Structure 1
Amino acid sequence: MTDLIRSTATEVVGLLRAGDVSPTEVLDVLEEHVLATDQAVNALPIRFFEAARAAAGQLERERPVPTDRGWLAGLPVAIKDYNDVGGQLTTNGSPIFADTVALESDALVRQVELHGGIPYAKSNVPEFAGGHTYNTVWGATRNPWHTARSAGGSSGGSAAALASGSAWLATGNDLGGSLRTPAGYNGVVGVRPTPGLVPRKRPPVPFDALWVEGPMARNVADAALFLDALAGPDAHDPMTRERPARSFVERLGQVPEFLRVGYTPDLGVLPVEREIRDITERSLGHLRDLGADVTGDAPDFTGAYDTFQTLRAQFLATVRGDLLETDRHRIKDDIVWNVELGLTQSLADVQAAERARGELIHRTMDFFADHDVLVVPSAPLSPFPVEWTAPSSIDGTPMRTYVDWISITFMITLTACPVVALPCGLSSEGLPVGVQLVGRPGSEGQLLAVAAALEGAVGIAEQLPIVPREPI
């Protein structure tokens, strides 16, 4: 049974559907592994295995035939601590909500449960938002590849749990790179879907297209399986729609015969460390082996930095501005600054950002008129020391804010395009380097197929899970 931990989500789901193992037996094995492993990485600070066993028992009673238990068939799933699981804590990594218990599961978690997933733990997050997972409630999450380094964020807990074997699947969400940065840092896979594909937690700004929910997994096939389970409509999220007629799993082997790929190491405007550029560029050889025509073409991202910072601040002020009036002293300084920026910037600034975003989207769609994929690194530097709050400079360029260093992901957010983030190589220190595969809206099936082919050539997925370590 201990071999289950090294098995993929797809393999464990196969065993569950065949009746070779029960959901309760899988939870027992998983709990033993989490207790032995997670103290080194702090990925899953909130655990509720007894409640999960009760849910598993209910699933077995209500759907006695294993093949009737949905896409996930009773597989345990880790839930990010920004999402609600009924009866469990949702702290948002903040002392303000440290004792808050969710009354019911939110839309994303209901999709997990509907399709046979069993929530068993909440993964660690930064307080409210950020690219590095640490907070005053649960502490910092550490990278299993090097426990003295950052796991990224804000889905750092989910990514570290996957890489260390404490999860087969984990939920994530993404505003400025929260799925993509930790996927690259931990050598796992994260999918930022087209807005509306996956339902969100009763969105406070229903037509906002910056924030999406998405799947995280150890490999591309597992991510496709999870996306099949998560996709679908929700009445409280008007951007959602019916799930696609064909499953993402079915489309995994269907790489286009002619593939045109654009590559940019820096979106034309950003600092990126030399080693990251070199490793990402070398990975393009695997795409050429597929017959892809790789060009140096990319959309023009001039002005995208200021556009995103304005729109992010507007969003944070809208959803968190009230907390400054009641709990300002309990919120970390970076979030206070970001919310205040949104409260004080002018209407003219927001209008200009909205226009600039529209122009960028149109330039991006022009790019995808004759390209299938855009390849971009998922972070401009390797995982940094876990004690830092954020990198202060990259390749000699100073960072002005706590999120400047994730510009390479948040500028892609503005395009509303889907992204599959996955590892494309290892650094000289043996740490994963990640890449973003960006496609036109609605192209998740094609992106996952290309990602699966790249993953097979790179060979990092087969090394997971890894034993948490601090290399000398």
Structure 2
Amino acid sequence: MNDITNMTALDQSQAIAEGQLSAAELMEATLSQIDRVNPQVNAIVSLRDADELMAEARAMDETPRKGWLHGIPVAVKDLANAEGLPTSMGNPMFANSIAPKDDLVVARMRAAGAVVIGKTNTPEWGLGSHTFNPVHGATRNPYDLSRSAGGSSGGAAAALAARMLSVADGSDMMGSLRNPGAWNNVYGFRPTYGRVPSEPVGDNFLHQLATLGPMARTPRDMAALLDTQAGADPRQPHGASYDLTLPSIDAHVKGRRIGWLGDWGGAFPMEAGLMSHSEEAIPQLEALGIIVEPVAPPFSADAIWESWTTLRSWAIAGGLSVFYNDASKRDQLKPEAIWEIERGLSFSAMDVHRASVLRSDWFKICSTLFEHYDALVLPTTQLYPFPVEWTYPTEIGGQAMDTYHRWMHIVTPVGLIGLPCINIPLEMGANGLPAGLSLFGPRDSDAALMQLGQAWHKAYQYSLSRAPLS
């Protein structure tokens, strides 16, 4: 690792703007770091030709500045389209599928000056918070190469941690910006649903579980990328309000109130040591002048799970059943995808309605909590990074996991109702592994959550204090 790749994205941007660093120098340093560590980590896939990238970087040095990302290398999560690059989604059917144009969020990053160098690895179809697939293999955790980097934005998070990228895009249905953030000692942000639009493909009214969003090693970089990604798309009905998050990020947080939900009264089994590790952050939050109070479980975790799994399977069936219904393609779907599709196809309209009523009830209860608290907080994950060879954990703390994603139950209270959420990195555990806390707030509290993350980062800087593979 060198000093250039250890810089934050905004510092790189400022150095380029002031002529202290060229885009070509940044690209050369980035490619050198990728060449050094990516063979071990396997976070960046479909990397473009080095000579071509260097030529594009030199051209950036000769052209007017487009925006804050001018000349900064980015790699796009391999679920999104970047013109001229494969969009494999981790599935062999699409391994050589070249995108004819950028998705909207990628186009916005390019418009701000980003140089797209390749893709970041993801689980097949983005299903499961463990990044492995038959096209590109597994992404390993830079802090312990024998363990998972999480997912589905696992490649993005690992690339950030290993200093191959300074900022990264991702997406989050079931913790996919938060889980890998926690497991790679970086920040991940799930925006208010609708704030960052996806592609206007298929149904744009009913499915409100997944969102795009940013990741970075600092909240400031993450806020800058969110401000680039955000903004309503007139072709889509759920655009959220769009106030910039970066300008106000250094606001005072003293006196803000946070409700500590812990393990939801024992509803979420936790790996030994992780709950105490998480609880150690409470006095650290209080040292910032934040008031932290315990909150009893406000809603049935089982009801949230019932609603979540119904709506998730229904959404996945809506997207992937076209492959399931084709006998020549069905056997190219991984078992977890088939399980989701078959569940989704089995539901009646009233099954989906009942699940959405549960979702609505939880949203109302949660809204009353935000009359008293500025944010609520949970551990981001229920366990530490697990061995990379596993498909998924089958038990936590002696409790069996009855589905491939039950071990991510803790992320569902947020994702089910489309609330913004920030993962903040914790000090390394006694086992040397990363973990995180998830702070979430009411709709459109994105800026306020970024401010809490920034106050945490200024005080503790855990994401910068220990670089892996250095």
Scaled by the length of structure 1, what TM-score is found? 0.94
Structure 1 pair 204/425, CA: closer, same or farther in 2 (3 Å)?
A: farther
Distance in 1 between residues matched to 2:178 and 2:298, nearest whole Å: 20
Determine the structure 2 residue equivalent to 1:201: 199
Determine the structure 2 residue equivalent to 1:73: 70
Question: In the TM superposition, what is the alpha-carbon distance from 1:77 to its structure 2 partner?
Answer: 1.2
Contact 2:241 / 2:444 at 8 angstroms: preserved in 1? no
Q: Equivalent residues in 2 for 1:213-224 (5 A)?
A: 213-224=212-223
Q: Tell me which moved more, 91-100 or 225-234.
A: 225-234
Distance in 2 between residues matched to 1:279 and 1:361, nearest whole Å: 29
Determine the structure 2 residue equivalent to 1:421: 423
Determine the structure 2 residue equivalent to 1:467: 469
Task: State the one-letter code of the partner of 1:357.
Answer: R
Determine the structure 2 residue equivalent to 1:343: 345
Distance in 2 between residues matched to 1:347 and 1:53, nearest whole Å: 53
The gaps in structure 2 that reach 5 residues or longer are none
Determine the structure 2 residue equivalent to 1:17: 17
Determine the structure 1 residue equivalent to 2:373: 371
Task: State the one-letter code of the partner of 2:42.
Answer: N
Task: State the one-letter code of the partner of 1:34.
Answer: I
What secondary structure sits across from 2:453 in the alignment? helix
Equivalent of residue 164 in structure 2, options 166, 173, 190: 166
Task: State the one-letter code of the partner of 2:9.
Answer: A
Structure 1 pair 204/276, CA: closer, same or farther in 2 (3 Å)?
A: farther
Determine the structure 2 residue equivalent to 1:126: 123
Count how many residue pairs are aligned between Structure 1 and Structure 2. 462
Contact 1:165 / 1:464 at 8 angstroms: preserved in 2? no
What secondary structure sits across from 2:117 in the alignment? strand
Distance in 2 between residues matched to 1:362 and 1:278, nearest whole Å: 30
Determine the structure 1 residue equivalent to 2:283: 285
Distance in 2 between residues matched to 1:385 and 1:445, nearest whole Å: 35
Distance in 2 between residues matched to 1:241 and 1:59, nearest whole Å: 33
Equivalent of residue 105 in structure 1, options 102, 105, 115: 102
Task: State the one-letter code of the partner of 2:331.
Answer: H
Q: Tell me which moved more, 43-52 or 278-287.
A: 43-52
Q: Deviations over 1:75-111 (max 9, x none)?
A: 1112100011001100000011111000000011011
Determine the structure 2 residue equivalent to 1:267: 264
Structure 2 residue 253 is matched with structure 1 residue 251: no
Contact 2:24 / 2:61 at 8 angstroms: preserved in 1? no
Q: Deviations over 1:104-163 (max 9, x none)?
A: 000110110111111112000100021110001111000000000010010000000000
Structure 2 residue 118 is matched with structure 1 residue 116: no
Task: State the one-letter code of the partner of 1:392.
Answer: T
Determine the structure 2 residue equivalent to 1:29: 29
Question: In the TM superposition, what is the alpha-carbon distance from 1:72 to its structure 2 partner?
Answer: 1.5
Question: In the TM superposition, what is the alpha-carbon distance from 1:455 to its structure 2 partner?
Answer: 2.5
Contact 2:23 / 2:57 at 8 angstroms: preserved in 1? yes
The gaps in structure 1 that reach 5 residues or longer are none
Scaled by the length of structure 2, what TM-score is found? 0.94
Task: State the one-letter code of the partner of 1:114.
Answer: A
Contact 1:301 / 1:411 at 8 angstroms: preserved in 2? no
Question: In the TM superposition, what is the alpha-carbon distance from 1:242 to its structure 2 partner?
Answer: 6.3
Structure 1 pair 370/90, CA: closer, same or farther in 2 (3 Å)?
A: same
Task: State the one-letter code of the partner of 1:233.
Answer: A
Determine the structure 1 residue equivalent to 2:180: 182
Structure 2 residue 84 is matched with structure 1 residue 82: no
Equivalent of residue 294 in structure 1, options 276, 292, 295: 292
Q: Deviations over 1:401-460 (max 9, x none)?
A: 111111111232012110011212222211111110101111111111111222333331
Q: Tell me which moved more, 315-324 or 301-310.
A: 301-310
Contact 2:149 / 2:157 at 8 angstroms: preserved in 1? yes
What secondary structure sits across from 1:261 in the alignment? strand
Determine the structure 2 residue equivalent to 1:432: 434
Determine the structure 2 residue equivalent to 1:403: 405
Distance in 2 between residues matched to 1:271 and 1:166, nearest whole Å: 34
Contact 1:271 / 1:380 at 8 angstroms: preserved in 2? yes
Distance in 1 between residues matched to 2:124 and 2:252, nearest whole Å: 39
Distance in 1 between residues matched to 2:108 and 2:264, nearest whole Å: 35
Contact 1:71 / 1:229 at 8 angstroms: preserved in 2? no
Contact 1:153 / 1:181 at 8 angstroms: preserved in 2? yes
Contact 2:74 / 2:115 at 8 angstroms: preserved in 1? yes
Distance in 2 between residues matched to 1:124 and 1:425, nearest whole Å: 26
Determine the structure 2 residue equivalent to 1:225: 224
Distance in 2 between residues matched to 1:260 and 1:299, nearest whole Å: 17
Distance in 1 between residues matched to 2:412 and 2:423, nearest whole Å: 13
Determine the structure 1 residue equivalent to 2:454: 452
Equivalent of residue 393 in structure 2, options 367, 378, 391: 391
Identity of aligned residues (%): 33
Question: In the TM superposition, what is the alpha-carbon distance from 1:463 to its structure 2 partner?
Answer: 2.5
Equivalent of residue 144 in structure 1, options 133, 142, 145: 142
Contact 1:203 / 1:237 at 8 angstroms: preserved in 2? no
